[in-house]
Amino acid sequence: MSLPLTQPSPRPAPPQPQPAAVPAPPANRRGALWGGLLLLLAGAAGLWLYLKPKEPTAGPVAIRTVAAKRGSLEVRIRVTGQTSARTFSNVTAPKLMVPDSDSQMVLLTLAASGTLVKKGDVVAAFDPQSINDHLDDVENQVKQSENDVAKKKVQLELDTVNLQQALSVAKASLDKARLDRKATEIRSEIDREILQLSEEEAAAAYKEKQADLDFQMQSQKADLRLSELTKEEQDRHYKRHEVDKTKFTIRAPMDAMVVVLQQFRPGGDQVTYAIGDRVYPGTTFARLIDPDHMQLEGTVNQSESGQFRLGQDAIVKLDAYPGVTYKGKVAAIGALASGGRFQNYYIRSLPIRVWIENGDRRVLPDLSGSAEILVDKELDSIIVPAYAVKTANGKPYVEVRTVAGIERRPVSLGVSNGIQVAIQSGINEGDEIVVN
């Protein structure tokens, strides 16, 4: 017996877990958060107001015053420039009269810069070999000229004797022809004609010899004179070069200090002249200065030039020696204004020189410095600060503190140096001047 087949029933799926539902925050909780945030901001603002620095309370303004003093006020204008020597002599390569006078000369001797030399001491010397060689040639030419003159003199004497002998022969021929012509009475007509022609021929020959003698004598004398002039020219030539030779040694014309100048070499290098350098004739390569007589050379603006006068006192200061001052005096003021290459057309300056009266050996040429020149001063006057003077309607006044309060007083002004001003009238010594 067979059993019927049956399908198994499917198992039910296990139940899936469900996510837990998040409950929404209640309304009173949101309000609490906003309230805490506002409370925190209020606390920070209060802390900032507490820590903020307190501004000082406005009080009465203090009045600053300065006592008017009696004294002297000087007005000085500062001029900048460089030092230079009042007495100096340039040392220049000599210009020679030799044919190669434009060629360079070699320095064999040169005194060091800063050396003190006496009058007559050797400052520099050049190599004289070229002029020595030329002098040898000129000396030979002089000797040759002397020989030419002696030869021409002998030749002139010999030619004179020969011409005189030829003239004597012509004179003798003329005399013979004349004697022969005197005997015409015993001769035929033809012989008389022949003798007459012979006499005329002899006379013409004699005259020709006389003229030739004069011409030859003049020619020989001219030739001799030309030789003598050539000799004199060669003598002068030799003497000129002897003078040139003395120029190769340069001596000091005065007691001075040697200052060797600088030169520019190819490539832009600037170096001082030294032994072995080649120098063109006419080139200044050193300078002799009197160190006891120095000056400061500067320029002043044309707008201030009217304040300067010869003889004004000055205080000279050099940048190389801080704290050291020298007495000075204005010695020269230029008469022609000039402008710089890169300056405006209307900017003009005048040169000015200030002599240093109590200089020492530290004052060397080309040091930068300044001179405070006294252009004006006022003695025994009331002096107050310049910023204490005020103006109203174009008239100056100062404020004076008195027992009754602040009093405005008109004043008459004197000179001013930009910092202080002299009061000629309006206030008294000791008055308290308001400088607020």
d(CA 134, CA 99) in angstroms, rounded, equals 9
With respect to residue 49, please indicate whether it lies within any of the assigned structural domains.
no
With respect to residue 406, please indicate whether it lies within any of the assigned structural domains.
yes
Residue span of the structural domain in which 116 resides = 88-127+249-288
Same domain assignment for residues 295 and 418: yes
**Element (DSSP H or E) covering residue 163:** helix 129-182
Same domain assignment for residues 105 and 155: no
Same domain assignment for residues 123 and 269: yes
With respect to residue 175, please indicate whether it lies within any of the assigned structural domains.
yes
Distances (CA, A) of 400 to 98, 178, 396: 85, 141, 13
Can you name the residues that pair with 433 across neighbouring β-strands?
66, 400
Same domain assignment for residues 349 and 408: yes
Same domain assignment for residues 236 and 339: no
d(CA 287, CA 90) in angstroms, rounded, equals 5
With respect to residue 101, please indicate whether it lies within any of the assigned structural domains.
yes
Q: Tell me the average confidence (pLDDT) per consecutive run of 10 residues in the chain, 436 residues long.
A: 41 48 51 70 71 57 87 93 93 79 85 92 90 80 84 80 77 74 64 73 79 77 84 83 87 93 84 92 93 93 89 95 95 83 70 93 92 93 93 93 91 92 92 89
DSSP, residue by residue, 221-244? HHHHHHHHHHHHHHHHHHHHHHHH
Tokens of 339: 């402008």
Q: pTM above the 0.95 mark?
A: no
Number of compact structural domains in the chain: 3
With respect to residue 316, please indicate whether it lies within any of the assigned structural domains.
yes
Same domain assignment for residues 283 and 225: no
Q: What is the CATH number of the domain that holds 278?
A: 2.40.50.100
